[in-house]
């Protein structure tokens, strides 16, 4: 019987919770059918280490940007800097970037400037923008629309847990929503309803590991192998069997992260 294959489209393999036992983490992912992972660099000063992870492990791709919660502490990313990083064959996305007014609202203006720079890089490279949005739905929808009017780009709303209005705004622009372990939490029915109203060809799976482990591992360290638990809940949400939903999310990832799909096909 062929194993069902899926992709963890967003994790943080360089964080010590995972990097300290990376070989075991990757082995468990492989056994679970997680054949690809995109590990996300959240501070550009760490990009060389994250790049090295992708270079060392065939299933691992990477993206880089300045996380909105780090904008106040990091040098502002420049367009040239992001364009240069994007030349690497395993660099497959821009970010994560975005807006976080929950913990870091005092840097809102700088976050917005950083976000627009990352959007420009996504537009110029053709790589998908990876968005983190928390407690900033109105500004996020406005900026995404304004920038899209200036020139199209592709985007995934990573770990989507915002409101229905932002989901609709993103979907209307042709963007994707990514399901994390939050979507599998028992009290997340409202969020599951938002996903259920979205086109199934616009859904990705992720862990955001080491955070947000889905049941039955909730409260413990997350890892890419656990993408399966979120995916199985997603299949329920869309009324599909697990194999069909997994295949759909694989096709969705290949379409959005076309550089990763092309690299894998050529390998």
Residues contributing to the annotated binding site for a divalent metal cation = 10, 12, 96, 132, 158, 208
Can you name the residues that pair with 64 across neighbouring β-strands? 41, 94
Tokens 């992912």 label which residue? 29
Half-sphere exposure of 72 (CA within 13 A, CB side): 11
Residues annotated in a binding site: 10, 12, 96, 132, 158, 208
Strand order in the sheet with 176-179: 6-11, 34-41, 60-64, 91-100, 129-134, 155-157, 176-179, 203-205
Distances (CA, A) of 36 to 29, 33, 133: 9, 9, 24
Lookup: tokens for 44: 């550009």
Q: Are 157 and 175 in contact (CB under 8 A)?
A: yes
């Amino acid at each position: 019987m062929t194993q069902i294959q899926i992709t963890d489209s967003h994790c943080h393999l360089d964080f010590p919770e995972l990097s300290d036992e990376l070989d075991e983490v990757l082995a468990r992912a492989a056994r679970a059918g997680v054949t690809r992972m995109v590990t996300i660099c959240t501070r550009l000063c760490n990009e060389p280490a994250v790049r090295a992870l992708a270079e060392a492990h065939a299933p691992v791709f990477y993206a880089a940007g300045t996380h909105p919660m780090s904008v106040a502490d990091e040098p502002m990313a420049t367009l040239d800097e992001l364009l240069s990083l994007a030349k690497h064959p395993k660099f497959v996305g821009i970010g994560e970037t975005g807006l976080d007014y929950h913990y870091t609202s005092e840097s809102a203006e700088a976050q917005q400037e950083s976000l627009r720079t990352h959007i420009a890089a996504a537009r110029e490279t053709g790589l998908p923008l990876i968005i983190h949005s928390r407690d900033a739905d109105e500004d996020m929808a406005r900026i995404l629309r304004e920038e899209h009017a200036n020139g199209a780009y592709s985007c995934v709303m990573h770990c989507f847990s915002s409101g229905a209005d932002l989901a609709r705004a993103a979907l209307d622009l042709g963007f994707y929503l990514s399901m994390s372990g939050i979507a599998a939490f028992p009290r997340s029915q409202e969020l599951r309803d938002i996903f259920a109203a979205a086109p199934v060809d616009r859904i990705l799976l992720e862990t955001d590991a080491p955070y947000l482990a889905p049941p039955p591992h909730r409260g413990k360290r997350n890892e890419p192998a656990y993408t399966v638990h979120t995916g199985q809940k997603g299949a329920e949400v869309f009324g599909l069997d697990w194999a069909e939903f997994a295949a759909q999310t694989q096709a969705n990832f290949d379409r959005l992260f076309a550089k990763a799909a092309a690299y894998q096909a050529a390998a």
